[in-house]
Amino acid sequence: MSSPKDRKKLCLVVVDGMRPASLQKAIAEGSAPNFARLIREGYASSECISSFPSLTPVATSTIVTGRGPAEHGVPSMNWYNRDEKRYIDYGISFPASRRSGVITVLKDLVYRINQDHLSPDTPTFFESLENAGIRCACTTYMIYRGPHEHKFVGSGMAGALAGVTGMSRPAYGPTDLLYSDIFDSIGTECRSSFGVPGKRDQHTACAGIELVLADRYEFMLLSFPDNDNWSHRFGPDEQPASIANADAQFQRVLDAAGGYRRFMEDHAVIVVSDHSHSVVHEAIDLVEMLGGHDWEVLQPRKGKKPGDADIAVSPAARAAHIYVLDPAHRGGKLPLLVEDLRREQKIEQVFWLDEDEAYGALGEAEIHFKPGTQYTDRRGVGWDVEGDLIVLDLFVEGDEIHSEEYPDSLARVWSALHCPGAGDLIITPELGYEFLDWGGVAHVGGGTHGSLHKADSAAQLIVTGTGEHRREQRAWSIADVNTLVLEHFGLSTGN
């Protein structure tokens, strides 16, 4: 372990939704030279497995805390909050935000996910490092929670919006927080047009340049989110263009330090994507599907009291939570919902809890499992499993249990179902399908993610200049990023 004096700084680069195969293509075309060089000089995995659902709020919370949704408490991109009797949406699409209320969505996205939804019992790496006296800096990233207060500094559109909405509260983050146009701890000229897609990577680069020049961080998170939006619109095969842009924006930060070589003299770098992307051929209207089985679904903000509806649903790309609204009727309604959904051709898996076990169904096939001693998965977790292994395409070799198609699925399903805000059911559609969100939006002809499938879940990891002792690690999870970050600074993760 290095002493603080000779320890390098650490730069974590997050490229939202970067599909490993698309990175390889960009590298082969010569358009991602920095990522290519980091791989050559370090090590990489193209099977760094996302959370379940493999959606940015859940995955980001896992990267930052090193925990799954059961512990960090963020269940999905949108979900039903039983305590507040309302849908939470972190901005899945603008039409969906309009149904939930744009201001409400912004408050949930900017403040409440950090201050209320993310469990106080799972420290972020910003909190762990800052508590150990290590200065951190963060660009615009969904989870930024830390100990330092940051005043709202919105100008232009952000300022005007704050004035009419009362959104100008302080945030609590790392020492430096340069978040969209609303938090700017070092007073930069960087502007992001309030975070519209296509403008975000350049804002991160601008912020990163200022942070490098100010030279007062030991850990810096650079978030490049534009790739995800590009891939949603044009499909994962078009990602090489947006990956090239992320690499070029990263280059600007490197140049501020005097170029790649100079930057690497005093930095280690980790690059991670939070999830991957699969191709969407067709959308599923989940509310209509459930209506066909006579289920009355609670609408967002329609003035309908929950008492009028049987269930709440949170359709989020390639995963959906379903909530039985009246707990007294859960026992009776849950089996009926399971039966209706497992008969639907376009639904792939249906998951739920019963007693102390997790259940999964795929058509007629059914599996149930819980932590135990019968088998061990590739991350060393023990499981007792009974039923049809086909539900998760599991195979057993000796006492090891594994799935190629749905990697790390036992642990991921278990954690998803045990999230306090989880639905009574979580469902995934067949590959190629996506649920319409509450605004009627899907990405047919483009890309999306959310399910357990490796096409959605197998993300990219690159580790350069740190974590050498983990080079031979066999099964990676995005949760390991938290471990790598803390270990770099000599802190234990408690895992």
Contact set with Zn ion (CB under 5 A): 228
Full DSSP string of 312-349: EEEEETTEEEEEES-GGGHHHHHHHHHHHHHT-TTEEE
Q: Is 453 within 8 Å of 429 (Cβ atoms)? A: no
For residues 228 and 247, which CB has a smaller minimum distance to Zn ion in the complex?
Answer: 228
CB count in 10 Å sphere of residue 485 = 28
Find the shortest distance in angstroms from Cβ 482 to Zn ion.
21
Q: Of 257 and 442, which CB lies nearer to Zn ion in the complex structure? A: 442
- Provide, rounded to whole angstroms, the least separation between the CB of residue 385 and Zn ion: 31
Question: Between 36 and 58, whose beta carbon lies closer to Zn ion?
Answer: 58
| 44 sits in which H/E element | strand 43-49
CB of residue 31 to Zn ion, shortest distance in Å: 22
Q: Is 129 helix (H, G, I), strand (E, B) or coil?
A: helix
Q: How far is the CB of 150 from Zn ion (least distance, A)?
A: 26
| Cβ-based nearer residue to Zn ion, 181 or 274 | 274
Least distance between Zn ion and beta carbon 146 (Å) = 25
Contact 270, 470 (CB under 8 A): no
Closer Cβ to Zn ion, 114 or 278, answer by number: 278
Question: What's the closest the beta carbon of residue 428 comes to Zn ion, in angstroms?
Answer: 16
Assess contact for 462 and 42: CB atoms under 8 A: yes
**C-beta of 228 vs 434, nearer to Zn ion:** 228
Give the separation between CA 197 and CA 194, rounded to whole angstroms.
Answer: 9
Which residues in 130-277 belong to E strands, given as ranges? Answer: 136-139, 148-150, 171-173, 176-179, 183-184, 219-224, 267-272
Q: State in angstroms the smallest separation of the CB of 232 from Zn ion.
A: 6
The nearer residue to Zn ion, 53 or 465, going by C-beta atoms, is 53
- List the Cα angle 10/12/18 in 5-degree steps: 155
Nearer to Zn ion, 201 or 228 (CB): 228
Residue number closest to Zn ion, CB atom: 228
Contact 417, 353 (CB under 8 A): yes
- Specify the amino acid at residue 454: K
DSSP3 helix / strand / coil % (the chain, rounded to 5): 35, 25, 40
- What's the closest the beta carbon of residue 272 comes to Zn ion, in angstroms? 15
Tokens found for residue 215: 């030279």
**Residue closer to Zn ion (CB basis): 226 or 228:** 228
Amino acid identity for residue 379 in this structure: R
Q: What span, in angstroms and rounded, lies between the C-alpha atoms of 398 and 315?
A: 38
Rounded Cα gap, residues 5 and 256, in angstroms: 23
Q: Which residues contact 139 (CB under 8 A, 6 or more apart)?
A: 178, 179, 203, 204, 207, 208, 211, 221, 222, 223
User: Tokens for 95?
Assistant: 């039409």
- 17 or 68: CB nearest Zn ion: 17
Phi-psi category of residue 195: left, alpha or beta, with phi > 0 → left and psi -120 to 50 → alpha: left
Residue recorded with tokens 């800052």:
130
Which of 20, 467 has the CB closer to Zn ion? 20
In terms of CB distance, is 174 or 447 closer to Zn ion?
447
**Closest approach of Cβ 17 to Zn ion, in Å?**
5
Q: How far is the CB of 149 from Zn ion (least distance, A)?
A: 30
Residue 31's contacts (CB-CB under 8 Å, 6 or more residues apart) are 240, 241, 243, 244, 247
Rounded to a whole number of angstroms, the minimum distance from the CB of residue 177 to Zn ion is 23
Both tokens assigned to 152:
């709202």
CB of 92 to Zn ion, least distance (A): 9
Instruction: Give the amino acid at 476.
Output: W
Nearest alpha-carbon partner for 421 in 41, 40, 118: 118
Helix axes 239-256, 20-28, angle to 10 degrees: 70
